[in-house]
Amino acid sequence: MKIYTRTGDKGTTSLVGGTRVAKDHPRLEAYGTVDELMAHTAYLRDNMENHPQLTRYRDELLQVLDHLMRLSSYLATEEEAKKYLPAFDGTQVALLEQWIDGIQSTLPTIDKFTLPGGHPIAALCHIARTVCRRSERRAISLSEQYPVNEFVLRYLNRLSDYFYVLARKISMEFNIKEILWVYDK
């Protein structure tokens, strides 16, 4: 099978289900941004490889990548073809909430915003968090025109929270002092 088909040379592509749409269609913006998020998530995961204390999070991020593929398939599929997709329901959201609660229970409370950075892996978490927020915005825009699985929106919202607490946890694991945003009035 060839990787190129030439069918998209004029700026269109096929959705799952067969309909051809412009490559800047809201569906493509939504699942394309999730694709970008997946690449950042994989890069974050790969950067944890030489840190045994982060093995648990590498395993979680592999599950996140699976969830994002499922989620993306819902964004790329016309309504009538969704019956052929893998399940994407509240199970994935509940798992994220469990992970967030577990991480958060180990962190000190803060009452200020955290500035990104402190450690390269924590910074990668923040990059993934911001791309996740953009993915959520693209999915919301899509939902204003087409039906979108409600758990897609919930998952993206929760996933950005996961990346945030994971960045905080990584700072703690590496004994990096978090940078809190303190402003002068």
Which token pair is 39? 């690449």
> Average pLDDT in the 42-71 region?
97
pLDDT at residue 22 is higher than 70: no
**All domains of the chain, ordered by start, with CATH?**
24-173 (1.20.1200.10)
- DSSP letter string, the chain: --S--STTTTSEEEPBTS-EEETTSHHHHHHHHHHHHHHHHHHHHHHTTT-GGGHHHHHHHHHHHHHHHHHHHHHTB-GGGGGGSPP-SHHHHHHHHHHHHHHHTTSPP-SSPBPS-SSHHHHHHHHHHHHHHHHHHHHHHHHTTS---HHHHHHHHHHHHHHHHHHHHHHHHTTPPP-B-----
pLDDT at residue 17 is higher than 80: no
Q: In whole angstroms, what is the distance from residue 146 CA to residue 149 CA?
A: 10
Region of poorest pLDDT, from 18-27, 47-56, 91-100: 18-27
Mean pLDDT of the chain: 92
Q: Contact, 24 vs 143, CB < 8 A?
A: no
> Average pLDDT in the 154-167 region?
98
pLDDT at residue 134 is higher than 80: yes
pLDDT class of 91 with cuts at 50, 70, 90: very high
pLDDT at residue 66 is higher than 90: yes
pLDDT class of 80 with cuts at 50, 70, 90: low
